[in-house]
Protein backbone atom coordinates (compact mmCIF):
# COMPACT_ATOMS: atom_id res chain seq x y z
CA UNK A 1 0.00 0.00 0.00
CA UNK A 2 1.32 3.46 -0.83
CA UNK A 3 2.02 5.79 2.07
CA UNK A 4 0.75 9.37 1.95
CA UNK A 5 2.92 11.58 -0.25
CA UNK A 6 4.56 8.65 -2.04
CA UNK A 7 2.45 8.81 -5.16
CA UNK A 8 2.35 11.63 -7.68
CA UNK A 9 -0.59 12.80 -9.72
CA UNK A 10 -1.77 11.24 -12.95
CA UNK A 11 -3.33 14.21 -14.74
CA UNK A 12 -6.89 13.80 -15.90
CA UNK A 13 -7.02 14.39 -19.67
CA UNK A 14 -8.73 17.61 -20.71
CA UNK A 15 -10.95 15.71 -23.15
CA UNK A 16 -12.63 13.87 -20.27
CA UNK A 17 -11.62 10.44 -21.62
CA UNK A 18 -9.66 7.79 -19.70
CA UNK A 19 -5.92 8.55 -19.41
CA UNK A 20 -3.30 6.33 -21.07
CA UNK A 21 -0.82 5.28 -18.38
CA UNK A 22 2.42 3.36 -18.76
CA UNK A 23 3.94 3.84 -15.31
CA UNK A 24 2.91 5.02 -11.84
CA UNK A 25 4.40 8.32 -10.67
CA UNK A 26 6.14 7.42 -7.39
CA UNK A 27 9.56 7.75 -5.78
CA UNK A 28 9.12 4.57 -3.76
CA UNK A 29 11.06 1.62 -5.14
CA UNK A 30 8.04 -0.32 -6.26
CA UNK A 31 7.14 -1.98 -9.58
CA UNK A 32 3.93 -3.58 -10.82
CA UNK A 33 3.40 -6.97 -12.43
CA UNK A 34 0.84 -7.45 -15.20
CA UNK A 35 0.16 -10.65 -17.14
CA UNK A 36 -1.61 -10.73 -20.49
CA UNK A 37 -3.85 -12.88 -22.71
CA UNK A 38 -4.50 -16.18 -20.87
CA UNK A 39 -3.57 -19.02 -23.24
CA UNK A 40 -1.51 -21.12 -20.87
CA UNK A 41 -3.37 -21.85 -17.62
CA UNK A 42 -0.83 -23.29 -15.22
CA UNK A 43 -2.33 -23.98 -11.77
CA UNK A 44 1.18 -23.69 -10.31
CA UNK A 45 1.13 -19.99 -11.09
CA UNK A 46 -2.14 -19.50 -9.18
CA UNK A 47 -0.59 -21.23 -6.17
CA UNK A 48 2.43 -18.92 -6.38
CA UNK A 49 0.29 -15.79 -6.43
CA UNK A 50 -1.79 -17.08 -3.51
CA UNK A 51 0.97 -18.52 -1.31
CA UNK A 52 3.45 -15.68 -1.78
CA UNK A 53 0.75 -12.97 -1.75
CA UNK A 54 2.23 -11.32 -4.82
CA UNK A 55 0.02 -8.57 -6.26
CA UNK A 56 -0.61 -9.09 -9.99
CA UNK A 57 -3.09 -7.76 -12.51
CA UNK A 58 -4.19 -10.18 -15.25
CA UNK A 59 -5.40 -8.66 -18.54
CA UNK A 60 -7.44 -11.41 -20.14
CA UNK A 61 -8.56 -11.97 -23.74
CA UNK A 62 -11.68 -14.09 -24.28
CA UNK A 63 -10.27 -16.11 -27.16
CA UNK A 64 -7.19 -17.01 -25.11
CA UNK A 65 -9.10 -17.90 -21.94
CA UNK A 66 -11.60 -20.01 -23.89
CA UNK A 67 -8.99 -21.72 -26.09
CA UNK A 68 -9.53 -25.42 -26.70
CA UNK A 69 -7.40 -27.62 -24.51
CA UNK A 70 -5.42 -29.16 -27.34
CA UNK A 71 -1.64 -29.18 -27.13
CA UNK A 72 -0.18 -26.00 -28.51
CA UNK A 73 2.58 -26.91 -31.00
CA UNK A 74 4.38 -23.68 -30.17
CA UNK A 75 4.10 -24.18 -26.41
CA UNK A 76 7.55 -25.72 -25.90
CA UNK A 77 6.43 -28.29 -23.40
CA UNK A 78 3.54 -26.34 -21.90
CA UNK A 79 0.64 -28.54 -20.85
CA UNK A 80 -2.05 -26.15 -19.73
CA UNK A 81 -3.35 -24.53 -22.89
CA UNK A 82 -6.93 -23.53 -22.17
CA UNK A 83 -7.01 -26.03 -19.33
CA UNK A 84 -9.20 -24.16 -16.87
CA UNK A 85 -11.11 -21.64 -19.00
CA UNK A 86 -12.93 -19.06 -16.85
CA UNK A 87 -12.52 -21.26 -13.77
CA UNK A 88 -8.79 -20.54 -14.05
CA UNK A 89 -9.49 -16.81 -14.13
CA UNK A 90 -11.73 -17.14 -11.07
CA UNK A 91 -9.05 -19.14 -9.25
CA UNK A 92 -6.57 -16.40 -10.03
CA UNK A 93 -8.96 -13.76 -8.73
CA UNK A 94 -9.50 -15.82 -5.57
CA UNK A 95 -5.72 -16.03 -5.18
CA UNK A 96 -5.63 -12.23 -5.00
CA UNK A 97 -5.11 -11.13 -8.61
CA UNK A 98 -7.22 -8.41 -10.18
CA UNK A 99 -8.82 -9.32 -13.50
CA UNK A 100 -8.74 -6.66 -16.20
CA UNK A 101 -9.82 -6.22 -19.83
CA UNK A 102 -7.71 -7.15 -22.89
CA UNK A 103 -10.48 -7.51 -25.59
CA UNK A 104 -12.40 -10.49 -26.96
CA UNK A 105 -10.23 -11.35 -30.00
CA UNK A 106 -6.97 -9.38 -29.56
CA UNK A 107 -7.41 -7.17 -32.66
CA UNK A 108 -5.37 -4.18 -33.77
CA UNK A 109 -7.96 -1.71 -32.47
CA UNK A 110 -7.12 1.36 -34.60
CA UNK A 111 -8.10 -0.73 -37.65
CA UNK A 112 -11.65 -0.90 -36.25
CA UNK A 113 -14.30 1.79 -36.06
CA UNK A 114 -15.93 2.99 -32.86
CA UNK A 115 -18.64 0.32 -32.77
CA UNK A 116 -16.15 -2.45 -33.44
CA UNK A 117 -13.85 -1.26 -30.67
CA UNK A 118 -16.75 -0.85 -28.27
CA UNK A 119 -17.95 -4.40 -28.97
CA UNK A 120 -14.47 -5.74 -28.16
CA UNK A 121 -14.13 -3.79 -24.92
CA UNK A 122 -17.69 -3.90 -23.55
CA UNK A 123 -18.05 -7.57 -24.52
CA UNK A 124 -14.99 -8.46 -22.48
CA UNK A 125 -16.08 -6.41 -19.47
CA UNK A 126 -19.47 -8.17 -19.52
CA UNK A 127 -17.81 -11.59 -19.64
CA UNK A 128 -15.41 -10.79 -16.81
CA UNK A 129 -18.24 -9.49 -14.64
CA UNK A 130 -20.31 -12.58 -15.39
CA UNK A 131 -17.48 -14.96 -14.50
CA UNK A 132 -15.84 -13.16 -11.57
CA UNK A 133 -18.58 -10.91 -10.22
CA UNK A 134 -16.50 -7.76 -10.72
CA UNK A 135 -16.30 -5.52 -13.78
CA UNK A 136 -12.77 -4.47 -14.80
CA UNK A 137 -11.67 -0.85 -14.44
CA UNK A 138 -8.49 -1.07 -16.52
CA UNK A 139 -8.06 -1.81 -20.20
CA UNK A 140 -4.94 -2.81 -22.09
CA UNK A 141 -5.14 -2.45 -25.87
CA UNK A 142 -3.55 -5.36 -27.76
CA UNK A 143 0.00 -4.51 -28.92
CA UNK A 144 -0.42 -1.21 -27.06
CA UNK A 145 -2.17 0.19 -30.16
CA UNK A 146 -4.97 2.66 -29.55
CA UNK A 147 -6.52 5.87 -30.83
CA UNK A 148 -9.08 8.38 -29.56
CA UNK A 149 -11.93 6.04 -30.48
CA UNK A 150 -10.38 3.44 -28.18
CA UNK A 151 -10.52 5.84 -25.27
CA UNK A 152 -14.09 6.83 -26.12
CA UNK A 153 -15.16 3.20 -26.35
CA UNK A 154 -13.33 2.33 -23.12
CA UNK A 155 -15.14 5.12 -21.29
CA UNK A 156 -18.50 3.89 -22.61
CA UNK A 157 -17.62 0.44 -21.24
CA UNK A 158 -16.87 1.72 -17.72
CA UNK A 159 -13.06 1.69 -18.01
CA UNK A 160 -11.15 4.24 -15.88
CA UNK A 161 -7.75 4.07 -17.60
CA UNK A 162 -5.78 2.44 -20.41
CA UNK A 163 -2.69 0.74 -19.02
CA UNK A 164 0.41 0.22 -21.16
CA UNK A 165 3.82 -0.88 -19.79
CA UNK A 166 7.45 0.19 -19.47
CA UNK A 167 9.21 -3.20 -19.82
CA UNK A 168 8.41 -6.70 -21.00
CA UNK A 169 9.55 -9.93 -19.36
CA UNK A 170 10.95 -12.59 -21.69
CA UNK A 171 11.19 -16.35 -21.15
CA UNK A 172 13.72 -17.03 -18.41
CA UNK A 173 12.63 -13.97 -16.45
CA UNK A 174 14.80 -11.61 -18.51
CA UNK A 175 13.58 -8.01 -18.46
CA UNK A 176 13.51 -6.19 -21.82
CA UNK A 177 13.53 -2.47 -21.03
CA UNK A 178 12.14 0.26 -23.20
CA UNK A 179 14.72 2.69 -21.81
CA UNK A 180 18.39 2.65 -22.83
CA UNK A 181 19.97 2.41 -19.35
CA UNK A 182 18.38 -0.98 -18.58
CA UNK A 183 17.42 -0.18 -15.02
CA UNK A 184 14.20 -0.73 -13.16
CA UNK A 185 12.65 2.58 -12.18
CA UNK A 186 10.15 3.30 -9.41
CA UNK A 187 6.64 2.89 -10.77
CA UNK A 188 7.59 0.66 -13.72
CA UNK A 189 4.85 -1.57 -15.11
CA UNK A 190 6.18 -4.96 -16.25
CA UNK A 191 4.37 -7.05 -18.85
CA UNK A 192 4.41 -10.86 -18.79
CA UNK A 193 2.30 -13.38 -20.70
CA UNK A 194 0.46 -16.54 -19.69
CA UNK A 195 2.86 -18.86 -21.47
CA UNK A 196 4.66 -22.10 -20.75
CA UNK A 197 7.02 -21.95 -17.76
CA UNK A 198 5.36 -18.81 -16.39
CA UNK A 199 5.64 -20.15 -12.83
CA UNK A 200 9.40 -20.70 -13.20
CA UNK A 201 10.01 -17.38 -14.97
CA UNK A 202 7.87 -15.58 -12.40
CA UNK A 203 9.97 -16.93 -9.55
CA UNK A 204 13.20 -15.81 -11.22
CA UNK A 205 11.71 -12.39 -11.96
CA UNK A 206 10.37 -11.77 -8.45
CA UNK A 207 13.74 -12.73 -6.91
CA UNK A 208 15.54 -10.42 -9.34
CA UNK A 209 13.24 -7.48 -8.56
CA UNK A 210 13.71 -7.93 -4.80
CA UNK A 211 17.48 -8.29 -5.16
CA UNK A 212 17.50 -4.88 -6.79
CA UNK A 213 15.75 -3.44 -3.75
CA UNK A 214 12.28 -3.08 -5.27
CA UNK A 215 8.94 -4.14 -3.84
CA UNK A 216 5.95 -5.42 -5.78
CA UNK A 217 3.10 -2.95 -5.58
CA UNK A 218 -0.65 -3.24 -5.72
CA UNK A 219 -1.58 -1.51 -8.96
CA UNK A 220 -5.15 -0.75 -7.87
CA UNK A 221 -4.09 0.97 -4.66
CA UNK A 222 -1.42 3.07 -6.37
CA UNK A 223 -3.67 4.06 -9.24
CA UNK A 224 -6.38 5.05 -6.81
CA UNK A 225 -3.89 7.23 -4.92
CA UNK A 226 -2.57 8.77 -8.16
CA UNK A 227 -5.95 9.56 -9.64
CA UNK A 228 -7.98 10.50 -6.56
CA UNK A 229 -5.79 13.58 -6.18
CA UNK A 230 -6.79 14.71 -9.64
CA UNK A 231 -10.43 14.38 -8.64
CA UNK A 232 -10.06 16.90 -5.85
CA UNK A 233 -8.11 19.50 -7.80
ZN1 LIG B 1 -2.00 -9.38 -25.60
Q: What pLDDT is attached to residue 231?
A: 43
Residues near ligand 1 ion, CB 5 Å cutoff: 36-37, 142
CA atoms within 13 A on the CB side of 33: 26
Alpha carbon of 107 to ligand 1 centroid (Å): 9
Alpha carbon of 185 to ligand 1 centroid (Å): 23
Alpha carbon of 231 to ligand 1 centroid (Å): 30
Give the length of the chain. 233
Mean pLDDT by 10 residues, the chain (233 residues): 88 95 95 96 93 97 85 59 90 97 98 98 98 97 98 98 96 87 93 91 95 96 83 40
Alpha carbon of 191 to ligand 1 centroid (Å): 10
Alpha carbon of 143 to ligand 1 centroid (Å): 6
Q: What pLDDT is attached to residue 70?
A: 58
Question: The dihedral of CA 53, 54, 59, 61: what is its sign?
Answer: negative
Contacts 24+ apart (CB under 8 A), 206-210: 206/52, 206/54, 208/173, 208/175, 209/31, 209/184
Alpha carbon of 74 to ligand 1 centroid (Å): 16
**DSSP letter string, 128-177:** HHHHHSS---EE--GGG---HHHHHHHHHTT--EEE--SEEEETTTEEEE
β-pairing, 161-163 vs 167-170, is unpaired
Alpha carbon of 105 to ligand 1 centroid (Å): 10
Alpha carbon of 170 to ligand 1 centroid (Å): 14
Alpha carbon of 5 to ligand 1 centroid (Å): 33
Alpha carbon of 56 to ligand 1 centroid (Å): 16
Closest CA to 220 of 88, 22, 55, 4: 55
Alpha carbon of 4 to ligand 1 centroid (Å): 33
Contacts 24+ apart (CB under 8 A), 226-233: 226/7, 226/8, 226/9, 226/10, 226/24, 226/25, 226/26, 227/10, 227/12, 227/19, 227/160, 227/161, 229/7, 229/9, 230/9, 230/10, 230/11, 230/12, 231/12, 233/9
Alpha carbon of 114 to ligand 1 centroid (Å): 20
Backbone angles phi, psi at 181, to 5 degrees: -85, 0
Alpha carbon of 122 to ligand 1 centroid (Å): 17
The model's pTM: 0.93
Q: What pLDDT is attached to residue 82?
A: 80
CA dist., res. 57 & res. 29, Å (int): 19
CA dist., res. 78 & res. 86, Å (int): 19
Rg (CA), the chain: 17
Helix axes 148-156, 114-132, angle to 10 degrees: 40
Q: What pLDDT is attached to residue 76?
A: 56
Amino acid sequence: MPRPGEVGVIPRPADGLPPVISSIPTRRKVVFLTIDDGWEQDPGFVAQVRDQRIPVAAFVTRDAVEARGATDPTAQGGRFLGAGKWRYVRDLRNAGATIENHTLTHPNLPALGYEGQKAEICGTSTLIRRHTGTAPTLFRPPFGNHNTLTRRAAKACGIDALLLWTATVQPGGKIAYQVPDKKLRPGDVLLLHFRPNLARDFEILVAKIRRRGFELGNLDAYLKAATSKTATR
